[in-house]
Amino acid sequence: MSFTPSSSIETPLLKGPLESLKRTVKDRKTVLEDVQTLASEVTTSEICAELTSSEHIEKLDSVISKLQGFKRKLKDAASEEEEQLQKCRARIQHLALLTQGPEPVKKWRALHLDRLLVDHMLRCGYYDAAKQLADSSKIQDLVDMGVFCKARRVVDALKKHDCTEALQWCAENSSRLNKMKSKLEFKLRKAEFLELVRKRQLMDAITYARKHLAPWANTYMKELQQAMATLVFLNDSDASPYKHLFAETQWDDLVDTFHQDNHQLNNLTLESLLTIYLQAGLSVLKTPFSYQPDCSVEDPLHLPSYQALAAGLPYAKHLHSKLVCHITKQLMNEDDPPMVLPNGYVYSLKALKEMSQKNGGKIVCPRTGYACEFQDLSKAFIS
C-alpha cells in the first residue's frame, strides 16, 4: 500500500492533531518535572524539630494539595492525548480509503468534499450549518470544529469592539505567539487605547498607554507614536492625519489578524482548503472552449457562476489535441477518426456510419441541419 499523490497534499489533516499531541506530551513532561521538584523539596528540606504537630500537618497538607493539583493536570493531559490520538487514527483510516479500490475512493471523494465544505463554512462563521454537515456526514473527527468554536467567542466580541476575549486568548497562548512574533496583542492594546480616546477619557487613555503600550515601544515605535498623536487630534477632527485609525475597517483588520494567528497556531492553512482545491481545479479545467455557447453542459465552466469564479485564473495548457465527438461524447482516435462534413463540422466516423446506415446513406449535421451524403465526407488528420 503506497501513498497516492492525492494523499500527499492532505498535510493539514494530520499536522494539526500531531502538533497538538506533541505539545500535550511536552506539558506532561513539565508537570513531571514539577512533581520531581516538589519531591526533592520534601526530601531535602530540614525537619524543624521546634514546630508543633499542627504546623507539620499544615506543611504536609500544602504538599498534598499541590500533588493533587499535579494529578489533575496529568489526568487532563492524558485525556487530551487520547483525544488527539483518536483523531489521528480516524484521519489515517480516512486516508487509507484512497488505496483500497474504486468504491472506497468514491467514498473518500464524497467525504473529502464534505470536509472542504465544513472547513469553508467554519471560516466564514456559518457555525450551525458546519455542525449540521459534520454530524450528518459523520466527519466530526476529520474536521477541526473545536478550534473554530473557541475562536468564535473572540471574533464575536471583536465585532462588538470588545477586546477582552481576544486579550485573554493572547495571554493563554503568549509564549507561542511571541515565538511567531505576532503583532496581535499590540494591535489589541492599541485598539483599546483608541477606544478610550474616542470616548474622550483622555487621562484613562494615558494611564492605559503607560501600562500596556509602553512595553511595545521598541518593536512598533512608529505606530505607537501615531496612536499617541491622536490624543491631540482626537477622532472627529477632519484635519487629523490619523483619522483612519478610528475607521471601522481597523476592527476588520483586527479580526483578520486574529484569524491568521489562530490558524498559524493550530497548523491550519491561512486560506480555506476549498479555495486551494477550487483554484487548482478551475484553472486546470479552463479552456477557451468553455466560454463558447455550445459548450458541453458537463463542463463546470460553462456555468456563469463558475466562469465568474475562474476569472483571472490561468488557462490549462494543452499540447495535444483531444477530440470529443459531439454525438457519441467519446474521444476520437485512430480507430474512430474524425470526419469532416462539407460545412466544416466534425464528427466521429462511428457516429456518422451509424447515422448513414439508419438513413440510407444520408448524413444530417445535428448542430446545423446541413444535409449531405456519406461519400461527401473527408478525413481530417489531427495528431
Partner 1 sequence: MEALAKENERVCKKQKVCAMKTMEGVEKLLTQCVETRNRILALQNSSPEEPTSSAGVGNDVACLRDLQQKVREMDFLQQVNSHQKDLQGALAKLKKAVEKHFIPDVSKALRDQPLDKATLNEVIVQHLLREGRFELGEELMREAQIHMPEGYKDPYVQMHQVLEQIAAFNLKPAIQWTKERRADVDTEALMGLEFKLHRLQFVQLLHKEGRGPALGYARAHLSVFSDRWMREIERLMGCLLYANRLDRSPYADLLAPGLWDEIRQEFSRMCCSALGQARESPLSVAIRAGTIALPMLLKLVSVMQTKTQPEDWNECQQLPVEISLGEDFAFHSVFACPVSRDQSSADNPPMLMPCGHVLCKVSITKLAKGGANRPFKCPYCPGEATVQQCKQLYL
Find the shortest distance in angstroms from Cβ 220 to partner 1: 26
Q: State which of residues 217, 221, 247, 270 lies at the interface with partner 1 (CB under 8 A).
A: 270
Instruction: Tell whether residue 381 is a contact of partner 1 (CB under 8 A).
Output: yes
Instruction: Tell whether residue 340 is a contact of partner 1 (CB under 8 A).
Output: yes
Pick between residue 212 and residue 259 the one whose CB is nearest to partner 1: 259
Instruction: Tell whether residue 133 is a contact of partner 1 (CB under 8 A).
Output: yes
Which residue in the block uniquely carries the three cell numbers 509564549? 175
Instruction: Tell whether residue 318 is a contact of partner 1 (CB under 8 A).
Output: yes
CB atoms within 10 A of CB 264: 15
Which residue in the block uniquely carries the three cell numbers 474536521? 143
Which residue in the block uniquely carries the three cell numbers 446513406? 361
DSSP states of 5-52 as a string? HHHHT-HHHHHHHHHHHHHHHHHHHHHHHHHHHHHHHHHHS---TTS-
Pick between residue 56 and residue 159 the one whose CB is nearest to partner 1: 56
CB atoms within 10 A of CB 6: 13
Which residue in the block uniquely carries the three cell numbers 492599541? 190
Pick between residue 234 and residue 349 the one whose CB is nearest to partner 1: 349
Find the shortest distance in angstroms from Cβ 178 to partner 1: 23
Q: State which of residues 155, 231, 309, 372 lies at the interface with partner 1 (CB under 8 A).
A: 309
Find the shortest distance in angstroms from Cβ 129 to partner 1: 4
Quick one: which of 118, 117, 120, 96 has its CA closest to 107?
Answer: 96
Q: Which stretch binds partner 1 (CB under 8 A): 88-96, 194-202, 213-221, 237-245?
A: 88-96
Q: State which of residues 157, 277, 327, 356 lies at the interface with partner 1 (CB under 8 A).
A: 277
Q: State which of residues 119, 177, 261, 346 lies at the interface with partner 1 (CB under 8 A).
A: 346
Pick between residue 29 and residue 176 the one whose CB is nearest to partner 1: 29
Instruction: Tell whether residue 296 is a contact of partner 1 (CB under 8 A).
Output: yes
Q: Mask of contacts with partner 1, 108-127, x by CB under 8 A?
A: -x--xx--xx--xx--xxxx
Q: Do 228 and 212 contact (CB within 8 A), yes or no? A: no
Phi-psi region at 234: left, alpha or beta (left = phi > 0; alpha = psi -120 to 50):
left
Instruction: Tell whether residue 358 is a contact of partner 1 (CB under 8 A).
Output: no
Interacting residues of 7 by C-beta distance below 8 A, sequence separation 6+: 95, 98, 99
Pick between residue 364 and residue 380 the one whose CB is nearest to partner 1: 380
Spatial separation of the C-alpha atoms in residues 122 and 127, rounded to whole Å:
6
Spatial separation of the C-alpha atoms in residues 152 and 157, rounded to whole Å:
8
Find the shortest distance in angstroms from Cβ 199 to partner 1: 32
Find the shortest distance in angstroms from Cβ 281 to partner 1: 3
Which phi and psi angles does 63 have, rounded to 5°?
A: -65, -45
Q: State which of residues 217, 303, 364, 371 lies at the interface with partner 1 (CB under 8 A).
A: 303
Q: Which stretch binds partner 1 (CB under 8 A): 2-10, 169-177, 241-249, 254-262?
A: 2-10
Spatial separation of the C-alpha atoms in residues 279 and 266, rounded to whole Å:
23
Sites for partner 1 among residues 239-268 (CB under 8 A): none
Task: Produce one character per residue of 44-64: b if its CB has 16 or more CB atoms within 10 Å, e if not.
Answer: eeeeeeeeeeeeeeeeeeeee
Sites for partner 1 among residues 19-78 (CB under 8 A): 21-22, 25, 28-29, 32-33, 35-36, 39, 42-43, 47, 49-54, 56-57, 60-61, 63-64, 67-68, 70-71, 74-75, 77-78
CB atoms within 10 A of CB 145: 18
Instruction: Tell whether residue 7 is a contact of partner 1 (CB under 8 A).
Output: yes
Phi-psi region at 181: left, alpha or beta (left = phi > 0; alpha = psi -120 to 50):
left
Size of the site for partner 1 (CB under 8 A): 131
CA 185 to chain centre: 22
C-alpha cell at 75: 489526568
Pick between residue 132 and residue 359 the one whose CB is nearest to partner 1: 132
